Amino acid sequence: MRILVLHQNLFERLGYEQAIDHTAHEVTYAGAQEYLDNIPDHIRCEMHPWDPALPVADQLRPFLAGQPPYDRIIARHELLITPAAELRAEFGIPGMGPETARNFRDKVAMKHTLAAVGVRVPRYLALDECGDAAAPWLGPTIVKPRDEGGSQGVKLFATFEEAAGFVRTAAFAARYELEEYVEGPIWHIDGFLFEGEVVVVQPSRYVGTPLRFENGEPVGSVQIDNPELADWAVRCVRALGGETLTFHLEAIMTVDGPVFMEVAARCGGGYIVRATELRTGAYLHTLDMASDIESTLATRFIGLARSDLSHGFFLFPGHVHGGAEVTVEVADGMLDDPLVLSHLMMPPGTPTARKHSYRPENLPLSGVVAGADPADVERWIRRLFETTAVTTRSPSCTEAYDGRGCAPDDHELEDS
């Protein structure tokens, strides 16, 4: 089999070597040179570099046209979902096509599709529909890119009029939308479907929110059993055309039930993959890739589960410090608590990454926790947030995660 991997992740973290038999298959990794450079020397493969400043599909079309046909295209990074789907369709390669990919990338398309089958979604308007008509709602309003992740570029306004006024005066492209703000705790549901059937599904509730993380506050998460929400999330994924895919879905829990927020055909960021593996026994990256390549469920990537424990994680943002050197101060004994399975802390004086990132190595402090009672895990995470200080040496970035830190130079969604 000939396999083309669109590579924009850390090689070992995704488990490419475990999921793909590089001696049995002809494998090509295409990606920016910095990612091709992290492929170990002993891996038998071809490499094809691309320019990260140019559209991926446009660069790979002539390459694929000059090659023997590929049997699979693998893409694990959210920004590569659409180009992979386009290339599959153009070159007759099995897997997710452009229409389904759009439902998992375009936040207007996904809400439109789900609303049509009766799923509750926030009221929304595509930016090109935002004229001078009366406001469709009056309260808090989100301005959101239609095709970003991790709350990048999202802004919250007190009223629809303020949000509409902002987008009318800003140089926004048509890829933005306005969305009614819905109050309630945010959950994420992560899992894997194979040929439409549930293999893994795990609900978790955020401690904090991804939007607050984008603006400088820490975020965490705790796994909580919620079979009804898990079933609801799977129905959403199927309604969007999902058949064989990893998914990361976010929902707002209201007194009247869940409201769909957004979904991606990828793994969640931070420690979501690790926490899911600890709870369910399934490592989502290798399970998905191997099952796709072998056209059968790769059960060898489903190990022992620990359903008696609720796992969670905590992440302190680095991008808001704009590359400044940081020092992390944690209350005595917090990280020695038996709930803490692992943690990673930047040494004092370490410069932060400028790009938006959930990757642990780019964060001042992060880690994985677990306990028999999810309420205990959540209380520990909240206590950590209340007692931890992240300070910088730069005079322009002296606040500790207050949303006023230096802005990053650019953004790149980075998965687990």
CATH number of 40's domain: 3.40.50.20
pLDDT the model gives residue 353: 85
DSSP state of 320: G
| Residues 165-174 pLDDT 10s | 787 766 655 6
**CATH code of residue 151:** 3.30.1490
Mean pLDDT of the chain: 90
Checking if the pLDDT of 151 tops 90, the result is no
What is the band of 67 on the pLDDT scale with cuts at 50, 70, 90? Answer: very high
Residue 44 falls within a domain, yes or no?
Answer: yes
Residue 407, domain member (yes or no): no
So what's the pLDDT on residue 331?
96
Contact 278, 306 (CB under 8 A): yes
Q: Are 330 and 387 within one domain? A: yes
Q: Is position 325 within any domain?
A: yes
Percentage of residues in the chain having pLDDT higher than 90: 77
Is residue 238 in some structural domain? yes
Out of 119-133, 209-223, 396-410, least confident range? 396-410
How much is the average pLDDT of 147-172? 75
Q: Model-level pTM? A: 0.90
Q: Are residues 90 and 216 in the same domain?
A: no
Please enumerate in sequence order all residues whose Cβ is within 8 A of that of 164, keeping only pairs 6 or more positions apart, or say none: 130, 135, 141, 178
Give the per-residue pLDDT at 148. Answer: 64
194 and 161 both lie in a single domain: no
Average pLDDT over residues 313-318: 96
- Considering the domain architecture, whether residues 343 and 217 belong to the same structural domain is answered as yes
CATH number of the structural domain spanning residue 294: 3.30.470.20
Percent of the chain topping pLDDT 70: 90
Nearest-5° Cα angle at 246, 79 to 21: 90
What tokens were used for 150? 């991790």
The domain of 29 spans: 2-103
Helix axes 56-65, 81-91, angle to 10 degrees: 30
How far apart (Å, rounded) are the C-alpha atoms in residues 303 and 284? 11
Separation of alpha carbons 128 and 167, rounded Å = 10
What is the spatial distance between Cα 214 and Cα 271, in angstroms, rounded to a whole number? 17
C-alpha to C-alpha distance for 97 and 276, rounded to whole angstroms: 27
The 3-class SS string of 264-284 reads ECCCCCCCHHHHHHHHHCECH
**Are 302 and 176 part of one and the same domain?**
no
Mean pLDDT to the nearest integer, 289-295: 97
Strand 72-75 vs strand 155-157: parallel, antiparallel, or unpaired? unpaired
Q: How far apart are CA 331 and CA 348, in angstroms?
A: 15
Q: What is the mean pLDDT of residues 286-309?
A: 96
Residue among 27, 1, 32 nearest 16 (CA) = 27
Q: What is the pLDDT of residues 220-264, one digit of tens each?
A: 999 999 999 999 999 999 999 999 999 999 999 999 999 999 999
Q: Is residue 152 part of a domain?
A: yes
Check whether residue 96 and residue 238 sit in a common domain. no
Cα-to-chain-centroid distance, residue 16 = 19
10-14, 156-160, 343-347, 380-384: range with lowest mean pLDDT? 156-160
Shared-domain flag, residues 6 and 151: no
- 414 part of a folded domain: no
Number of domains in the chain: 3
Q: Where are the alpha helices (DSSP H) in 23-159?
A: 33-36, 56-65, 81-91, 98-103, 107-115
